[in-house]
Structure 1
Amino acid sequence: MIILLLICCMSTLSGLVVHNLSALVRDNILLPCDLMSNNTAENMTVTWKLNNTDRQVHRYKGGRDMNDRQCPDYKGRTTLSKLDLNTGNASLKLANVTMADGVEYICSIQIGNGSEQVKALVKVEVKVPMLGPAVPVTVTATVGQDLHLPCHLSPNITAEGMAITWLLKRTGKRVLRYENDCYKGGLDAYRGRVALLKEEVRRGNATLRLTGVKLSDEAEYVCSIEDEHWHGNISVQLKVKGLEVRGPQQSVTALVREDILLPCYLVPNSSAESMVVTWKLNNTGRLVHLYKDGRDMNDQQYPDYRGRTTLSKVALHNGNASLKLANVQMSDHGDYTCLIQDGSWRHQLTMHVEVKGKQIDTAHAWRAGFGIMFVLALALATALALLLYHVRRRLKGRVYFLFMHYFMYRTEQYKMEY
């Protein structure tokens, strides 16, 4: 599509028509040259060249283009319409305007073997597009959200064929580069999370889509668009909000030899799997547990805690960095710090752990003792009853024997007396 952006002025000097044109880089423009009559220019010689030079931009002769002497900078970018030539219109289409095209052009026509007549002088001013938004922009997002960082050409011209680069302003490190319809690598932290909208690139829109926002994504970003003749850039600030580390408001109480959970979690819920979680005992600085690079790294862990601490990866996925401490000891008493880090972001909380020894329940002990004594007493009473029963039986038999023996003795005596 041919776009003629602005005709600032058209005047006539000694039969020469002067045109002042303004165009944007990468636009297509029409350099006007009219015979001012309906005479066909099909059999004429039409020459376009740079003013005050012999550098040929386009030449038409003998019913066809003859560009063997054409300046290389214009190769493949100029067109004369034969249909327009039939009506005396020798305007030249110049495609894909560059900054170097901002010069003066002369259109001349030669009829037969006659002298060459200059018909038009076209002055072209090439302007670069501006990058928008025109005012500084701050985009605010919460962790885990998907967002767009705006960047576009103004006015809207295609950005195809241009190189689009997004980078971090503070470090200059590349987040993404898009060139020749291909992505080129950037920082690993953004891999698989950034992209351009390809359909929008054709409309000059270089907005960056960033998915799964992390705390470490908070930074100032630079959008840069360039081709061989022009470049421009803008900055976009990204603010990531909403994450806090929270835990218990009061002391955590534990009994010796029991297992406890020390609460520590992110609000709102956001995966802590890729973050660094550090648990320490405050008053001594001893390392209780360290989670980093997606795994436990406890080679520097204080020996007293070895094998007794656990972080759940399932819980970490939901932003829960609570520490399980098994087989609590009296030495575990103190203030513990839970520190969570993600890039330059860090937040921590401190909680007090009070350890108590197990106490005996005296009432329960008395009840248990009484029960045992009752059972023992019952057993003893039963044993005594059985013993008395057997003794009585044995005694009863003995008494009967003595009685019968005495009775028989007295009977014999009685008989002897009488």
Structure 2
Amino acid sequence: MSTSRFTFVVCLLTCLLNRSTCTEVTAEYGEDVILHCHSPRDADIEMLEWIKPDLNSDDYVFFFRENHRYDDYQHPSFHGRVTLRDPTMKDGDASVILKNVTMKDAGTYQCYVGKRSSQHSKRSVPELMNTITLKVEEPKPEHKVVKVKSGDTVTLPCRGFSSSPVTAVEWIRPEMEQAGYFYLSQDGRFVPDGQHPYGKGWVELKDTEMKDGDASLILKNAMPVDSGTYHCYVSQGTNRKKRDTDRPISIINLTVEPGHSEL
């Protein structure tokens, strides 16, 4: 039995014991996903807690109490990414929208709802309403073939999966990766240490601010020795150091043909 299937079975048993619902949701990397949760229609929701048990933290995915959301209680990885589907929670709709999902968002989510009590002196105890197992599919890299003449300036295209700020971009040539990366930028700064000699002084970002997720690379004065495969890895959102996935988001096959002077 696969790990994801085992996790879902465990969640299902938990739901049966708690008389709550249990669902499985699959999302594509970079898209927005709705995590569904509903309480009885006639319930006046006083408290809403969305948690992710495998965070190993007391912080919440989303916390709402007495008509206010509390971002201070939220886990840093979810800051600015979770909103109520219906801010009024009409008909008991306590669903939330999780924006720009990444591989790290996969896992189990639980929704607890506390209903307003007629006895104002007592605070309601939140009840488990729904358990969701979220699966995130890894993105498929974009493949492109680029052909130029020797001496040309060439752009190697690469764009993130969303408009979220790019916190890191790494370009490599797989056949030369052991000797260093081709280009690396973290937190808006070029990192020269560890750069492969073939990249030094010859490459730069098309847009240093990487607006709208544009992490394209410019290679100046291309030569036949530059022919080969280039992989682009991008990190967006809260992930500042590590690649979001083990797969590149862009694969470029570059061919630099000799110029007339080299024929």
TM-score (norm 1): 0.44
Aligned to 1:208: 96
Aligned to 1:148: 34
Aligned to 2:76: 188
Aligned to 1:28: none
Per-residue deviation, residues 188-235 of structure 1 (Å, max 9, x unmatched)? 34323323345327x54422233x433354443221235856443232
Choose the corresponding residue for 2:173, options 276, 281, 304.
Answer: 281
Given that 1:148 and 1:208 are in contact with CA atoms closer than 8 Å, whether structure 2 keeps it comes out as yes
Q: Of the two structures, which has the highest relative contact order with CA contacts closer than 8 Å and spacing of 6 or more?
A: 2
- The alpha-carbon distance between structure 1 residues 235 and 274, as it changes in their structure 2 partners (threshold 3 A), is farther
**What is the identity percentage for the equivalent residue pairs of Structure 1 and Structure 2?**
22
- The alpha-carbon distance between structure 1 residues 283 and 199, as it changes in their structure 2 partners (threshold 3 A), is closer
- Give the Å deviation of 1:309: 1.5
Correspondence 1:4-403 to 2 at 5 A: 134-138=21-25, 140=27, 143-145=30-32, 147-154=33-40, 156-160=42-46, 162=47, 164-173=48-57, 174-184=60-70, 185=72, 186-196=74-84, 197-200=86-89, 204-210=92-98, 212-216=99-103, 217-226=105-114, 230-233=125-128, 234-240=130-136, 243-248=139-144, 250=145, 252-265=146-159, 270-271=162-163, 273-274=165-166, 276-285=168-177, 286-313=180-207, 316-341=210-235, 344-348=244-248, 350-360=251-261
User: Matched residue of 2:112: which SS?
Assistant: strand
Given that 2:110 and 2:132 are in contact with CA atoms closer than 8 Å, whether structure 1 keeps it comes out as yes
Aligned to 1:117: none
What is the rounded CA distance, in whole Å, between the counterparts of 1:280 and 1:141 in structure 2? 25
What is the rounded CA distance, in whole Å, between the counterparts of 1:319 and 1:244 in structure 2? 16
Aligned length: 223
- The alpha-carbon distance between structure 1 residues 177 and 339, as it changes in their structure 2 partners (threshold 3 A), is same
What is the rounded CA distance, in whole Å, between the counterparts of 1:352 and 1:205 in structure 2? 49
- Give the Å deviation of 1:346: 3.8
Aligned to 2:5: none
- Give the Å deviation of 1:315: 9.4
Given that 1:143 and 1:240 are in contact with CA atoms closer than 8 Å, whether structure 2 keeps it comes out as no
Per-residue deviation, residues 249-285 of structure 1 (Å, max 9, x unmatched)? x4x444433211223446xx63363354211122221
- The alpha-carbon distance between structure 1 residues 293 and 214, as it changes in their structure 2 partners (threshold 3 A), is farther
User: Matched residue of 2:171: which SS?
Assistant: strand
- Give the Å deviation of 1:245: 2.2
- Give the Å deviation of 1:288: 1.0
Given that 2:50 and 2:110 are in contact with CA atoms closer than 8 Å, whether structure 1 keeps it comes out as yes
What is the rounded CA distance, in whole Å, between the counterparts of 1:239 and 1:275 in structure 2? 24
Extract unaligned runs of 5+ from structure 2.
Answer: 1-17, 115-121
What is the rounded CA distance, in whole Å, between the counterparts of 2:66 and 2:77 in structure 1? 24
- Give the Å deviation of 1:137: 4.3
Given that 1:270 and 1:317 are in contact with CA atoms closer than 8 Å, whether structure 2 keeps it comes out as no
- The alpha-carbon distance between structure 1 residues 159 and 321, as it changes in their structure 2 partners (threshold 3 A), is same
User: Matched residue of 2:55: which SS?
Assistant: coil
- The alpha-carbon distance between structure 1 residues 207 and 335, as it changes in their structure 2 partners (threshold 3 A), is closer
- Give the Å deviation of 1:144: 4.5
- The alpha-carbon distance between structure 1 residues 138 and 304, as it changes in their structure 2 partners (threshold 3 A), is closer
- Give the Å deviation of 1:320: 4.3
State the one-letter code of the partner of 2:230.
Answer: Y
Given that 1:279 and 1:336 are in contact with CA atoms closer than 8 Å, whether structure 2 keeps it comes out as yes
What is the rounded CA distance, in whole Å, between the counterparts of 1:260 and 1:341 in structure 2? 23
State the one-letter code of the partner of 2:50.
Answer: W
Per-residue deviation, residues 274-320 of structure 1 (Å, max 9, x unmatched)? 35421112222131112333454344323442332122348954454
- The alpha-carbon distance between structure 1 residues 142 and 190, as it changes in their structure 2 partners (threshold 3 A), is same
- The alpha-carbon distance between structure 1 residues 292 and 221, as it changes in their structure 2 partners (threshold 3 A), is farther
- The alpha-carbon distance between structure 1 residues 131 and 274, as it changes in their structure 2 partners (threshold 3 A), is farther
Given that 1:282 and 1:337 are in contact with CA atoms closer than 8 Å, whether structure 2 keeps it comes out as yes
Given that 2:207 and 2:216 are in contact with CA atoms closer than 8 Å, whether structure 1 keeps it comes out as no
